[in-house]
A and B are shown apart, each in its own frame.
Chain A
Amino acid sequence: MNMHLPVSVVMLLVASCLATVGCGPTPPAPFRLNMVEAISPTAEKDSIAAEQALVPAQQKQVATILLAMFGTPDAPECLPETGLDPAKLRLAAGPVRSDIVGRKNGLYREHCVHCHGITGDGLGPTAAFLNPYPRDYRPGVFKYKSTERADKPTHADLVTILHNGIPGTSMPSFGLLSPTQIEALVEYVKYLSIRGETELALMRYFFELDDEDEGRLSETREFLVDEVLQPIAEKWVAAADAIIEVPEAPENLDLAVSVAKGKELFYGERANCVKCHGVTGLGDGQANDYDDWSKNIVKIEGKLTSLAGNDLDPAERRWVADFGQVLDGEALRPRTIPPRNLRRGIYRGGRRPLDLYYRIHAGINGAPMPAAAGTVSPEEIWHIVNYVRSLPYDFDGELGVDRSVAIQPPAAESFAAQENTD
């Protein structure tokens, strides 16, 4: 007896398995339901709603309504009330066309989906490996904008983010795309955001039903469009009018004086920047807070098993590779949000004085950075801006600044001092 026969059979079996597994095209990509909200609605802790979850029949109804109102990833729909341009959506939606000359659509999947996910939920395959996580558009909260804290970003804000990227994060600059392409992508982000907010609103409405509704939402136009969709869409439209009014920077300002004043305010009790940003400005103050997206997950971590016990079809659960996955692929592990290290000279929302003014005035929506508008005057905000902008170059700081994370002083930059040797 020799071993050739059994070995050969095993090899051929393995080979055929490898070669034939999973034949056939993949079905079109589907939108995913916001399972975190479905399992634990964003309601007051003590209310009945906070203890309930949406049953599968209710989840299904939400999905059906959304399908009718917003279409699919391959074929998006938008009601006129949303204010969105369908042509732009079609450019961004759908699978990527592979012929270069005739590339007509699929921009979102070409550039965005692997981080932001097909549903705009920040759950693309790459997302779990990024720090910070990619944005989840569904709550309709955006951090870096020119409007007041609770308002939506303007169209120009979103264009700017695509154009510049977000320095210090994995969001790259898409400035080399054509304006048409950027416009299409911005429109699609808004679409995903409006869709996500509508989904959240619908889910929350389940807890305001009467007995006679029998646990089903009304599907009339009145309810869905006028009552649910309209307020959401209007907020987006209204953003253009909610731009923060920025007074002119004080004229004839001695920069050194302004910086000194800004420093006082930075360390002072009113603005109290050092509480989070640290007395060194390195972001080493209080650092155990979460951003809104993580807070959502943190509060329901105690309900971990409830998702596993949910009747959701197992085939719909997706394996998300993670350095610490939680919630069965529906959400990423919460991370505390560190306050910004101001000595690195990296400003996520933009480095212009104007951008820093916006951040200080309105705070950062979704993050623990509070709005300083009520507590300090506009002129004082300018002083703080000047102080912050001086920090990366503050080499003689008396507070034992760790130079290794600051930009090096000019002297060390000279080439002669640093040949590249092997």
Chain B
Amino acid sequence: MNRLVGMFWGLLFLAVPVLGVATFAVAPSINVWLPKDVSAHGYQIDSLFYFILGLTGIVFIATEVLLFWFIWKYDAARGDHKAVYIHGSQTFELVWTIIPAATLLFLAIYQMNAWANVKMRRPDIPPTVEVVGRQFEWRLRYPGRDGMLGTADDIHLVNDLHLPVDEEVLVQLKSMDVLHSFFLPNLRIKQDAVPGMKIPVWFQATETGAFDIVCAELCGWGHYKMKGRVTFVSRPEFDRWLERKYAEQEATQPSIHAGGEIVAN
């Protein structure tokens, strides 16, 4: 009876690696996995994620299965065997200190390049857009025809970020009030917006389409409401869109659209 109980507990602990691996194995097929990556640099992050997943997965399975095995095999209910009177093993200590240390150090060094690419090696291009986080929206400002930010012909928009595809873009990230964070899940980009600082964020999209902008730093009650959308279009289309927005911004007569849109305003 006691043996059965011991087996039950052993199996419970075995369920940990089994169900753990199963969860991760099933997740991609139920669409609970890394979102689609449309950035040029994202593969570096994703491949690192998978590498670490594989490495930790192996360690996870090995240690959890060992734990299960020891519980199963060394159950007191199994018999009258006495426990092994041992205080440790110098060899084992060396092995399981040196190997993990080397692995971890290797991991750290291996990733430095990816980090530098995303955060340190800024391209020498003028800002494509200024994104200012504010409770609770993303205020966007594009340089106008004069190519300079901070002049009268700038184009001001809210939440609806358009950017050219297949081009390196530079976002000048600021905050008007409290901390926010500019998170583009589909481009593997995240950067806190700090009031009083101006932080460059650069990336390149490889596909057209519309994707989420999420605020990733608590900024107050409306933190969840700071939904933006980034849309990537071809450069000519982007220029056209910008012109259109500029014209709308300079309107001196009410616009009249039909079919569900603004009718006179």
- A/B contact in complex, CB under 8 angstroms: yes
Bound-complex Cα distance A312 to B227 (A): 42
Find out whether the CB atom of A393 lies under 8 angstroms from the CB atom of B263. no
Find out whether the CB atom of B252 lies under 8 angstroms from the CB atom of A407. no
**B contact residues, total (Cβ < 8 Å):** 40
B265 part of interface (Cβ distance < 8 Å) = yes
Find out whether the CB atom of A393 lies under 8 angstroms from the CB atom of B151. yes
B190 part of interface (Cβ distance < 8 Å) = no
A357 part of interface (Cβ distance < 8 Å) = yes
Find out whether the CB atom of B249 lies under 8 angstroms from the CB atom of A351. yes
Bound-complex Cα distance A126 to B222 (A): 10
Contact of B264 among A126, A146, A409, A413 (CB under 8 A): A146
Contact digits for A91-118, partner B, Cβ 8 Å, 1 yes 0 no: 0000000000000000000000010000
A321 part of interface (Cβ distance < 8 Å) = no
Find out whether the CB atom of A353 lies under 8 angstroms from the CB atom of B150. no
Contact digits for A153-174, partner B, Cβ 8 Å, 1 yes 0 no: 0111101100111010010110
Segment of B6-14, B36-44, B133-141 in the binding face: B133-141
Bound-complex Cα distance A179 to B263 (A): 13
B148 part of interface (Cβ distance < 8 Å) = yes
Whole-angstrom distance from the CB of B90 to the nearest CB of chain A? 43
- Complex contacts, B199 vs chain A, CB 8 Å: 420
Contact digits for B225-261, partner A, Cβ 8 Å, 1 yes 0 no: 1111100000000000000000011111110000011
- Complex contacts, B195 vs chain A, CB 8 Å: none
A249 part of interface (Cβ distance < 8 Å) = yes
Of chain A, the residue at the smallest CB distance from B135 is A170
Bound-complex Cα distance A257 to B33 (A): 60
**A contact residues, total (Cβ < 8 Å):** 44
Contact of A389 among B150, B152, B227 (CB under 8 A): B152
Find out whether the CB atom of B221 lies under 8 angstroms from the CB atom of A409. no
Contact of A420 among B160, B198, B226, B254 (CB under 8 A): B198
Find out whether the CB atom of B200 lies under 8 angstroms from the CB atom of A167. no
- Complex contacts, A412 vs chain B, CB 8 Å: 150
Find out whether the CB atom of A173 lies under 8 angstroms from the CB atom of B159. yes
Find out whether the CB atom of B150 lies under 8 angstroms from the CB atom of A179. no
Bound-complex Cα distance A172 to B199 (A): 24
Whole-angstrom distance from the CB of B181 to the nearest CB of chain A? 14
Find out whether the CB atom of A146 lies under 8 angstroms from the CB atom of B229. no
Whole-angstrom distance from the CB of B2 to the nearest CB of chain A? 33
Bound-complex Cα distance A367 to B163 (A): 39
Find out whether the CB atom of A408 lies under 8 angstroms from the CB atom of B250. no
Whole-angstrom distance from the CB of A277 to the nearest CB of chain B? 19
Contact digits for B158-169, partner A, Cβ 8 Å, 1 yes 0 no: 111000000000
Of chain B, the residue at the smallest CB distance from A422 is B197
Find out whether the CB atom of A354 lies under 8 angstroms from the CB atom of B159. no
Whole-angstrom distance from the CB of B68 to the nearest CB of chain A? 36
B172 part of interface (Cβ distance < 8 Å) = yes
Contact of A154 with B150 at beta-carbon distance under 8 Å, contacts A126-B221, A146-B254, A420-B198 already known: no
Find out whether the CB atom of B159 lies under 8 angstroms from the CB atom of A176. yes
Contact of B150 among A114, A407, A420 (CB under 8 A): A407
Whole-angstrom distance from the CB of A109 to the nearest CB of chain B? 14
Q: Which of B150-192 contact A (CB under 8 A)?
A: 150-152, 156, 158-160, 172
B112 part of interface (Cβ distance < 8 Å) = no
B61 part of interface (Cβ distance < 8 Å) = no
Of chain B, the residue at the smallest CB distance from A156 is B265
Bound-complex Cα distance A392 to B141 (A): 14
Contact of B265 among A146, A353, A407 (CB under 8 A): A146
Contact of A410 with B159 at beta-carbon distance under 8 Å, contacts A156-B263, A165-B137, A176-B229 already known: no
A32 part of interface (Cβ distance < 8 Å) = no
Of chain A, the residue at the smallest CB distance from B138 is A173
- Complex contacts, A163 vs chain B, CB 8 Å: 262
- Complex contacts, A173 vs chain B, CB 8 Å: 137, 158-159
- Complex contacts, B160 vs chain A, CB 8 Å: 175-176
Of chain A, the residue at the smallest CB distance from B160 is A175
Find out whether the CB atom of B261 lies under 8 angstroms from the CB atom of A179. yes
Bound-complex Cα distance A412 to B252 (A): 31
- Complex contacts, A170 vs chain B, CB 8 Å: 135-136, 222
Contact of A160 among B159, B227, B265 (CB under 8 A): B265
Find out whether the CB atom of A410 lies under 8 angstroms from the CB atom of B149. yes
Whole-angstrom distance from the CB of B64 to the nearest CB of chain A? 35
- Give 19 A-B pairs besides A170-B222, A413-B148, A415-B200 with Cβ atoms closer than 8 angstroms: A114-B221, A156-B265, A159-B262, A167-B158, A170-B135, A172-B136, A172-B137, A172-B225, A172-B226, A173-B158, A173-B159, A175-B158, A176-B229, A249-B252, A354-B252, A354-B254, A409-B150, A410-B150, A420-B197
Chain B interfacial positions (CB closer than 8 Å to A): 126-127, 135-137, 139, 148-152, 156, 158-160, 172, 197-200, 221-222, 225-229, 248-254, 260-265
